[in-house]
Chain A
Amino acid sequence: MRFVVRRLLLFAAALFGVSVVVFAALRVLPGDVASVMAGLNSPASRVEALREQFGLNRPLPVQYIDWAGGLLRGDFGTSILTGRSVTSLIAARASITFPLIVLGLLIAIAIGVPLGVAATLARSSAARTAFHVAGLIGGAIPALWGGLLLILLFSRGTGLIGLFPSQGFPLDGWAAPGQAIWSLILPALTVGIIVGASLMRYTRSALGDIAGSGRIDMAMACGMTRAQAVIGVGLRLAMPQLVSVIGLTFAEMITGVMVIENLFALPGIGSGLVTDVGNRDLIAVQSELFMLAAFFLLVGLIVDLLHRALDPRLATAADASEVTA
């Protein structure tokens, strides 16, 4: 219980910290917000007008409280360029990014975990080497290049086998779910292969650690075959660790798929953020950055709590240390 309370306090403190960092970064770092928005060589009067319009001439603490107060009420401000509320912008983009990430993660799990188990079970040195090299290469491919290779292989028009569209998302969004999912396949596959390679290495090393501790041998001594022991005992013991890794990967992918979204012309969160930075839409950027960081922290919180629930040994260990302390 003490752990949960402490973790929640840490979460709140981190949220506050992030909001200060984001706010300060856009103001303290060189480059005045208003003059950046106005663009190069714009007259001083225009910069001044922008300052006035967005309240940038007020003292910094007042600006911060105004913005942070809005965040607390759920008001993320308005995009300067489009005039739409940042909340609706993010919602529209998330409807593409989240399905993409979930699909990518499912592919990664479907690739990574079985391969990790297979790599652990492999006996011949040739097979072990093959798994090792595959993991190394999968983790070293630049996302951009991986996507390009898949386009060259499977996209309609360019690819050797024209199967999937390689550009854009249906304009009417999820009105035609089949079409929408179809256009997410190639990008999700790109993400899935790269993340899957790292998941495979994690699975293998987690299973290796457990085998090193003798628990697999113990299960085999009790009559299980090696495969049964690795899958039934090893994988169960590795589960808390793997769930942590998958959760954190999920959070990282929100920004990690930025390149993929750009490449496949999907108007998701990542590519939207890059566009806004390019357009100097700073009020929107400020709120978007905060929301992304907040989401990150939230996933971290959930993962930590879940890890705790999945691994009862942690709670016992903490209680024991509290008793002795």
Chain B
Amino acid sequence: MTSDKTSRTSHTAAQATVRVNANVPAGPTAAIVLHGMWRRGEGKFSIIVLGLWLIVAFVSLFWTPQPLLATDGYHVWATPSAAHWLGTDGTGADVLSWLMAGSRTNLLIVVLTVLFAAAFGLLLVAAMVARNGTLAGASVVVVDALISIPTVLLALILAVPLGASVTVIVVACGFGYGLNLARVARPAALLAARSSYVEAALASGASGWWTFVRHIVPNTLPVLLVQLSLSAGTAVLAESGLTYLGIGVPSGVPSWGHSLATSVKFINVYPLTVLWPGLIVTVVVVALNVFGDVLRDAVDPMVNAELRDGAAGADCDGGTLSDPLRAARPSHTVGQRTAVSVRGTADTDVAGRRSA
């Protein structure tokens, strides 16, 4: 139905799609995406919160209001003051300094967990949409079986030999979230894997892996972004829970979970010290959850008009451009879009390889 149109525009569409896919992290596209996120209230909120988190984590490497190990024995459980903005805890350590230092531990955990989950999840997706039927069938069964093992159980199993460590959190969460990701991203990936543009790519001699990375993964991007940002939020929550149970961040290492867990013991005496770490975790988790939604919309040219206009300036029709991101959307519009995307990206592939 769209073949005559796409065949006419195939070459320019190909170039433009290459440009967008290759340049998403850099150049004007990134600015457009960021601007698209900033326009929404939720986007502003999440960018500010996550930006502050990054800045504080970086600053805490060089400077905290008080040295971490400095304890002020004369001012135990002090109320907020000029010297101790959020007061001190039971050993006289500065609460604010520990929370600032904790932000970098949590950042490390979130980044590692998300990377682990993305790598593991995509590997599973690759297996699940493999052309080898046995491998695909077996991996679906394995994912179904493994997904029922709760993250906490896995963390406990790992904690038996490893003890409390960041590794336990990262591996247990990354493993669990990777399985979730694989399950959620599979339909979109399967749709792409069975499309005629992948067929065309393979027929023109592209390797299976290249086709996967170049054509199938971009189609799962909307699901991927949302799922990974949810995972990031869950990782922050998991850190606080696991650390409290004594199988997360080891004692002595600053983290938000650590701050929360230490204040728990004295809740009867100094209830207000409990407030800060919990508040920070809640705000950050909300920001992370919102971030994925807003980012997904901002990289979607059907939603973000600027992205579409920018692409039009680059001599391309918006419809074709949107497809790699749009085709995977789990909505009733999928059908009509895929038809277009099938052509667009298949041409891209052929053209891309030709020019290479």
- Bind each other: yes
CB atoms of A142 and B278 under 8 A apart: yes
Are A142 and B260 also in contact (CB < 8 A) when A13-B141, A152-B274, A300-B148 are? yes
CB atoms of B241 and A258 under 8 A apart: yes
CB atoms of B153 and A31 under 8 A apart: no
Closest to A167 in B: B268
Q: Which of B162, B264, B268, B278 contacts A141 (CB 8 A)?
A: B278
CB atoms of A255 and B150 under 8 A apart: yes
Are A152 and B267 also in contact (CB < 8 A) when A142-B260, A212-B332, A300-B148 are? yes
Chain A stretch 230-266: residues in CB contact (< 8 A) with chain B:
251-252, 254-256, 258-259, 262-263
Contacting residues, chain B, for A263 (C-beta < 8 A): 244, 264
Query: Chain A nearest CB: distance from B310 CB in Å?
Result: 30
Asked if A282 is an interface residue, CB under 8 A from chain B, the answer is yes
Asked if B158 is an interface residue, CB under 8 A from chain A, the answer is yes
Most B-side CB within 10 Å, residue of A145, A157, A273: A145
Are A148 and B267 also in contact (CB < 8 A) when A10-B141, A278-B246 are? yes
CB atoms of B153 and A142 under 8 A apart: no
CB atoms of A140 and B286 under 8 A apart: yes
CB atoms of A140 and B244 under 8 A apart: no
CB atoms of A273 and B156 under 8 A apart: yes
Give A55 to B245 CA distance when docked, in angstroms. 30
Give A139 to B281 CA distance when docked, in angstroms. 12
Asked if B159 is an interface residue, CB under 8 A from chain A, the answer is yes
Asked if A8 is an interface residue, CB under 8 A from chain B, the answer is no
Contacting residues, chain B, for A30 (C-beta < 8 A): 161-162
CB atoms of A289 and B157 under 8 A apart: yes
CB atoms of A17 and B145 under 8 A apart: yes
How many chain A residues sit at the interface, stated as a range, is: 35 or more
Asked if A36 is an interface residue, CB under 8 A from chain B, the answer is yes
Contacting residues, chain A, for B244 (C-beta < 8 A): 144, 259, 262-263
Asked if A143 is an interface residue, CB under 8 A from chain B, the answer is yes
Asked if B133 is an interface residue, CB under 8 A from chain A, the answer is no
Name the segment of A18-26, A58-66, A94-102 touching the other chain: A18-26
Query: Chain A nearest CB: distance from B151 CB in Å?
Result: 8
Contacting residues, chain A, for B241 (C-beta < 8 A): 142-144, 258-259
CB atoms of B264 and A144 under 8 A apart: yes
Most A-side CB within 10 Å, residue of B141, B144, B237, B260: B237
* A-B contact number at CB 8 A: 137
Asked if B285 is an interface residue, CB under 8 A from chain A, the answer is yes
Asked if B290 is an interface residue, CB under 8 A from chain A, the answer is yes
Q: Which of A10, A22, A137, A262 contacts B144 (CB 8 A)?
A: A10
Closest to B237 in A: A142
Query: Chain B nearest CB: distance from A24 CB in Å?
Result: 10
CB atoms of A26 and B157 under 8 A apart: yes
Asked if A4 is an interface residue, CB under 8 A from chain B, the answer is no
Chain B interface residue count, CB cutoff 8 Å, equals 42
CB atoms of B289 and A289 under 8 A apart: no
CB atoms of A36 and B148 under 8 A apart: no
Q: Which of A136, A289, A300 contacts B286 (CB 8 A)?
A: A136
Query: Chain A nearest CB: distance from B296 CB in Å?
Result: 15
CB atoms of A258 and B149 under 8 A apart: no
Contacting residues, chain B, for A297 (C-beta < 8 A): 145, 148
Contacting residues, chain A, for B150 (C-beta < 8 A): 251-252, 254-256, 292, 296
Give A157 to B141 CA distance when docked, in angstroms. 52
CB atoms of A258 and B152 under 8 A apart: yes
Asked if B87 is an interface residue, CB under 8 A from chain A, the answer is no
Query: Chain B nearest CB: distance from A64 CB in Å?
Result: 16
Give A280 to B244 CA distance when docked, in angstroms. 18
CB atoms of B157 and A142 under 8 A apart: no
Give A139 to B289 CA distance when docked, in angstroms. 9
Asked if B160 is an interface residue, CB under 8 A from chain A, the answer is yes
CB atoms of A140 and B156 under 8 A apart: no
Asked if A151 is an interface residue, CB under 8 A from chain B, the answer is yes
Give A31 to B168 CA distance when docked, in angstroms. 14
Asked if B204 is an interface residue, CB under 8 A from chain A, the answer is no
Give A254 to B274 CA distance when docked, in angstroms. 26
Are A140 and B282 also in contact (CB < 8 A) when A17-B145, A36-B161, A297-B148 are? yes
Q: Which of B161, B247, B331 contacts A29 (CB 8 A)?
A: B161
Query: Chain A nearest CB: distance from B129 CB in Å?
Result: 19
Contacting residues, chain B, for A10 (C-beta < 8 A): 141, 144-145
Give A36 to B160 CA distance when docked, in angstroms. 9
Query: Chain B nearest CB: distance from A33 CB in Å?
Result: 8
Query: Chain A nearest CB: distance from B300 CB in Å?
Result: 18
Contacting residues, chain A, for B102 (C-beta < 8 A): none
Asked if A181 is an interface residue, CB under 8 A from chain B, the answer is no
Closest to A282 in B: B160
Asked if A218 is an interface residue, CB under 8 A from chain B, the answer is no
Give A137 to B233 CA distance when docked, in angstroms. 12
Closest to A18 in B: B149
CB atoms of B233 and A140 under 8 A apart: yes
Q: Which of B146, B160, B267, B281 contacts A151 (CB 8 A)?
A: B267
Contacting residues, chain A, for B141 (C-beta < 8 A): 10, 13
What are 21 contact pairs spanning A and B, CB under 8 A?
Answer: A10-B141, A10-B145, A14-B148, A18-B145, A26-B161, A29-B160, A29-B161, A136-B290, A140-B233, A142-B241, A144-B241, A152-B271, A152-B274, A255-B150, A258-B245, A259-B244, A263-B244, A274-B245, A277-B160, A293-B149, A300-B148
Closest 7 CB pairs of A and B: A145-B278, A31-B161, A140-B285, A14-B145, A29-B161, A255-B152, A140-B286
Q: Given contacts A25-B157, A29-B160, A274-B156, could you give 19 more A-B pairs where the C-beta distance is less than 8 Å?
A: A17-B145, A21-B149, A31-B162, A36-B160, A140-B237, A140-B282, A141-B278, A143-B241, A144-B244, A151-B267, A157-B268, A212-B331, A255-B150, A255-B153, A256-B150, A262-B245, A289-B156, A289-B157, A293-B149
Which A positions have Cβ atoms within 8 angstroms of B? 10, 13-14, 17-18, 21-22, 25-26, 29-31, 36, 136-137, 139-145, 148-149, 151-152, 157-158, 212-213, 251-252, 254-256, 258-259, 262-263, 270, 273-274, 277-278, 280, 282, 285, 289, 292-293, 296-297, 300
